Amino acid sequence: MITHLKTRTKGVALSLVGITLLSPDSLLLRLINADVWTLVFWRGGLSAIGLICMTLLIDKKIRYREIIFIGKHGVAVAVGFAVSALAFVFAIMNTAVSNALVIMSISPLLAAILSYVLFREATASRTWLAATAITVGLGSVFLGSLETNRLAGDLSALIASMALAFCFVMIRKHREVNMLPSLAWSGFLVCLLVSPLAAPLSVTGMSLLLTLLLCLFIVPVGMGMITLSPRYISAPEVSLIMRLEVLLAPFWVWLVLGEVPSIQTLIGGAIILASLTLLSVLSMRSR
């Protein structure tokens, strides 16, 4: 019993610290004085280096061959993460942070639906009910964006969420494969794709320091902790804790930049968060 409690405490701590560490990501992206492509270039390349270091620290038995040759499933996940990373940064720079994070938060639900579509995995009726409620919430968020010319950013966040959902499905389907190297390779892929459009040497001074902090520490360490947490607690519990980012990230942006979510985003976000929280709680009880 004590061992079980220690294991659960470790899992909860990893999730909480990881998501809290990641929560200023959106704020720092806004504070760094650079265009979207340069941000994506640095975030991809430096985060990849940090993630490789995290992989070597987490799994000391891993061979370098496993990091370099990730296989076809690893390549699919790397491409998915690359699309998600590109779309996420574009979304943060072209819509309200609250909009982007609310839309991104539906990725676990999209993953459950995608599992049914691709692999005919059983999907509980509560998932379909949550999907219906979340569709209403998303409608409210998008309606607000139509009035403020933020639709492109919202659609980009939806693409990021769908790509992330695809990655979740592939990781779950191929549990035997260590996907942290794939996450690192996605960073290198993003870096390569945007290099013709980026101006990496234009980032100097405080912006460069913030870039190094974000990409070499915050993103890799936060992602590494969240990736580790399902070893100790269930996926619904991890998903529930990750909902904190939807509250924390807009809070930091409001505190520093004064960006206030629209009433439509608050209504839609409340519907989405309530649906996802209830879904996670019911999933935990059914175990």
Please write the tens of the pLDDT for every residue from 272-286: 888 888 877 777 676
**Across residues 72-90, what is the average pLDDT?**
90
Token pair 């790397």 is found at 78
CA distances from 216 to 48, 111, 193 (A): 8, 28, 20
pTM: 0.83
**CA dist., res. 129 & res. 135, Å (int):** 10
Distance CA 134, CA 103 (A): 10
User: Higher model confidence: residue 3 or residue 1?
Assistant: 3
- Cα–Cα separations (whole angstroms), residue 30 to 34, 135, 156: 9, 28, 17
Q: Of 205, 228, 224, whose CA–CA distance to 216 is shortest?
A: 224
Q: Is there a contact between 241 and 15 (Cβ–Cβ < 8 Å)?
A: yes
Query: In which residue are the tokens 């175990």 written?
Result: 287
Check residue 284 and give its pLDDT: 67
Determine the average pLDDT of the residues in 218-247.
78
Average pLDDT over residues 131-154: 82
List, for residues 131-141, the tens digit of each pLDDT value: 888 888 888 88
CB distance 264 to 144 below 8 Å: yes
Mean pLDDT of all residues in 22-38: 92
Q: What is the DSSP letter of 274?
A: H
Whether the predicted pLDDT of 121 surpasses 70: yes
Please give the Cα distance from 188 to 227 (Å, whole number): 19
In the chain, what is the straight-line distance between the N-terminal and C-terminal CA atoms, in Å?
18
How high does pLDDT run on average in the chain? 84
Residue with more model confidence, 145 or 158? 158
